[in-house]
A and B are shown apart, each in its own frame.
Chain A
């Protein structure tokens, strides 16, 4: 196999690589101080408890050191003073497609998001910069009592539900970046699913970064009440910029007794984005939470979706695919905190490192004492395409007591030359053979994505890879 050809492997990120000039009506300027926070609160018209909360979070953020004693030193390249913390095109989320400004519509249409997918999706909320620009839930879903809106609208209109869980799954001080998000968050979704309601179609939001030096700090809170079911999908594309951009979201999920939540992410930020995301779920008795996470873009992603298994028989699952190309570090993984009897968790992670890309798996499984019947299974597989690629695995597993079992397995391999040879003598080009092989490696995970995402993923890995290997 010639490595020269293989280094050209790339996922085509040009689909998101365009930008229209947009006039920002509200802009908090660069840098982060207590005035920035007052500005954000005033513009958004938020209540005083949030103002206080944000100020406290800023203090926590400033007091916490960068976690570089274990994480990548690349974090030190983030210049917090050069980042814009708040921008918005307008304060009210548009309710119908017609109200959306023309220039923004053009951007969305280039991305190919809403109109053709609207039929399949229950609701669309597309975040354009900080504020939700377009937010629509199909009538049927709204009639079931499902609340689906932006986080700001959620905290103003539904404080009785919002405040009960907001910041409870991921406290402000969880880590430096969750504190940052707590201080300056805007945008993101708030979803409440009433007891027993099963939302048939996935709820979807697309987020985009569209301003240079602009950080995206969305905050999502999803509450699935007893016995309800919901699937949420999040996809990201971002235009390319010359200076690094920061994306630091916080996502909290609460699955009450017997509820099921699936959270699907396809992350395809451009290769200059720092993507530092905290995602955690609280699973009550017999609840199920599944994170499906795919990371293709960004310069550095640090994301370890977690589930706190709080109630008996709760189940947590993380399915993760990461693809790291030249200049990229995908530092992803999962956390499973068992806190009740008979809780089970499953982690399956697959990563592909291409060129000089680096993929890292970090895991944490914790089973404290006096629990019975807890089970965890972890599998991590890594595929290395070139001799310059790198992969790391750092799991940490703590088990106490006799009633539980944990197993962890990981393997690292390369594409087998025999497989490629076999396919080539059947008439495939080397590039086709390679992409078929890579698709085969992730296929069992890709199938777990909702249909349209798995198609999109396959296309990302397959078609566009073929095009560039040629």
Chain B
């Protein structure tokens, strides 16, 4: 599977084949494609798609990923701006690797495998077999997970061996270029026992208003005592349809921390599952959403406590303007064996306009006793007194509103405890505010 990507792509699109009639990316992905075509599109009566506008999910207009030319490549490389200091970066456009640059000696430390996915598949078949898409998409997005599996061409493969700590973050940029283009970004991070790594995915569209399709998967595997921080800064075009499916598997005494910053896309569906698989594991699940215009941001989460003494802490914050809709549907599940679970789930919605709509469905399923599980969901608007206070200090209403929203989202960013990444995310949020009339 996927070996075809190693050869130069030669098709010249005379009459472009649509994605849905193009078939799998490589012969090895045939099985996934067959599955994809068999699974029906979601319907609203499916509880896992409750509240969602399922009619937004039509895939028929999109084209399979096409390579970009040299001029575009140069331009996108310049625009791939991440942190000032990082250990290395890979840049992809329409699922084609543009560059792979290592800045730090840390990455050449014995044993760290940091490769494009298709190369890792050939060079490290055992690891690939063991971890690639091993957790099923259980939150309703199975159709899109199989679409991804049938179309994925490249992505990041990062294996950090036992005891190795990479101090600077590693970055990946995924660009979507061209009208109705599609891409299938993949990130697979495996941190062995006591390993430590921080990773950032940036999702961007070359044209902020081009329609397109992005369907990504990112999986995190943590061995005993490992520590992984994962950030996904999503800023697809305002007309893109996007899916993001995540599974995080947390081993003994390991600590996973993930943050999804959702800025772009017309319709985004994210599914994020944390498996607390062994004693002492902990997962922090964070997300911030800045939704405006007619955006629909549909987030589903699942915290599964599969072993005793594990903890999870989820914080999702949404700011909604114009006619934006957000959906949060999250579940904490405590299996019968998972005593001494400590689980928390909190979603907060800040509505800035009369047409915005926030749906929250925080859920609990507890089958063990001696647990502490709480969840909370709030929806509200900016307090008039807060606005008045700021305005009485000479700040315009609009600016005051932005300040308050900024403060509202800052709590999520602060929880990351990564000041440099936090600053970059704040910048991206500010840019979105500035672009909003």
Binding site for B on A (CB under 8 A): 69-70, 367, 369-370, 382, 384-414
Given A391-B365, A410-B374; 9 other pairs, CB 8 A cutoff: A390-B366, A393-B364, A395-B377, A399-B359, A399-B379, A400-B354, A407-B378, A407-B379, A412-B371
Nearest opposing residue in chain A for B360, CB measure: A397
9 tightest A-B CB contacts, nearest first: A399-B379, A402-B381, A393-B364, A405-B380, A384-B369, A412-B373, A401-B354, A408-B377, A411-B374
Q: Contact between A412 and B376 (Cβ–Cβ < 8 Å)?
A: no
Q: Contact between B372 and A413 (Cβ–Cβ < 8 Å)?
A: yes
Q: CB of B351 within 8 A of chain A?
A: yes
Nearest opposing residue in chain A for B359, CB measure: A398
Q: Contact between B369 and A393 (Cβ–Cβ < 8 Å)?
A: no
Q: Contact between A396 and B376 (Cβ–Cβ < 8 Å)?
A: no
CA–CA, A384 and B334, complex, Å = 12
- Contact A397 to B375, CB < 8 A, known contacts A384-B366, A405-B381, A412-B366: no
- Contact A401 to B356, CB < 8 A, known contacts A69-B45, A382-B366, A392-B365: yes
Q: How many residues on chain B are close to A (CB under 8 Å)?
A: 40
Q: Contact between B364 and A392 (Cβ–Cβ < 8 Å)?
A: yes
**B362: chain A residues within 8 A (beta carbon):** 393, 395, 408, 410
Q: CB of B368 within 8 A of chain A?
A: yes
CA–CA, A402 and B350, complex, Å = 8
CA–CA, A408 and B347, complex, Å = 10
Q: CB of B361 within 8 A of chain A?
A: yes
- Contact A397 to B361, CB < 8 A, known contacts A402-B381, A408-B378: yes
**B315: chain A residues within 8 A (beta carbon):** none
CA–CA, A412 and B371, complex, Å = 7
A341 to chain B, nearest CB (A): 13
**B355: chain A residues within 8 A (beta carbon):** 369, 400-401
CB pairs A–B below 8 angstroms (24 shown): A367-B379, A382-B364, A385-B369, A386-B369, A387-B339, A387-B370, A389-B367, A390-B367, A392-B363, A393-B365, A396-B50, A397-B360, A397-B361, A398-B51, A398-B357, A399-B359, A400-B351, A402-B354, A403-B354, A404-B379, A404-B381, A408-B360, A408-B376, A410-B375
CA–CA, A370 and B357, complex, Å = 11
CA–CA, A404 and B50, complex, Å = 22
Q: CB of B278 within 8 A of chain A?
A: no
Q: CB of B46 within 8 A of chain A?
A: yes
CA–CA, A221 and B23, complex, Å = 60
Binding site for A on B (CB under 8 A): 45-47, 50-51, 336, 339, 349, 351-382
- Contact A388 to B336, CB < 8 A, known contacts A393-B375, A399-B379, A401-B356: yes
CA–CA, A393 and B363, complex, Å = 5
CA–CA, A404 and B336, complex, Å = 39
CA–CA, A410 and B378, complex, Å = 12
Contact of B378 among A369, A386, A400, A406 (CB under 8 A): A406
**A403: chain B residues within 8 A (beta carbon):** 354, 381
A167 to chain B, nearest CB (A): 25
B331 to chain A, nearest CB (A): 8
CA–CA, A410 and B346, complex, Å = 10
Contact of B336 among A369, A382, A387, A393 (CB under 8 A): A387
Q: Contact between A391 and B364 (Cβ–Cβ < 8 Å)?
A: yes
A140 to chain B, nearest CB (A): 47
Q: Contact between B364 and A397 (Cβ–Cβ < 8 Å)?
A: no
B51 to chain A, nearest CB (A): 7
Nearest opposing residue in chain A for B379, CB measure: A399
CA–CA, A70 and B47, complex, Å = 7
Q: Contact between A410 and B364 (Cβ–Cβ < 8 Å)?
A: yes
Q: Contact between B354 and A370 (Cβ–Cβ < 8 Å)?
A: yes
Q: Contact between A401 and B378 (Cβ–Cβ < 8 Å)?
A: no
A201 to chain B, nearest CB (A): 40
Q: Contact between B361 and A395 (Cβ–Cβ < 8 Å)?
A: yes
B94 to chain A, nearest CB (A): 37
- Contact A384 to B378, CB < 8 A, known contacts A395-B361, A395-B363: no
Q: Contact between B371 and A398 (Cβ–Cβ < 8 Å)?
A: no
B329 to chain A, nearest CB (A): 8
Nearest opposing residue in chain B for A416, CB measure: B370
**B358: chain A residues within 8 A (beta carbon):** 397-400
Q: Contact between B379 and A369 (Cβ–Cβ < 8 Å)?
A: no
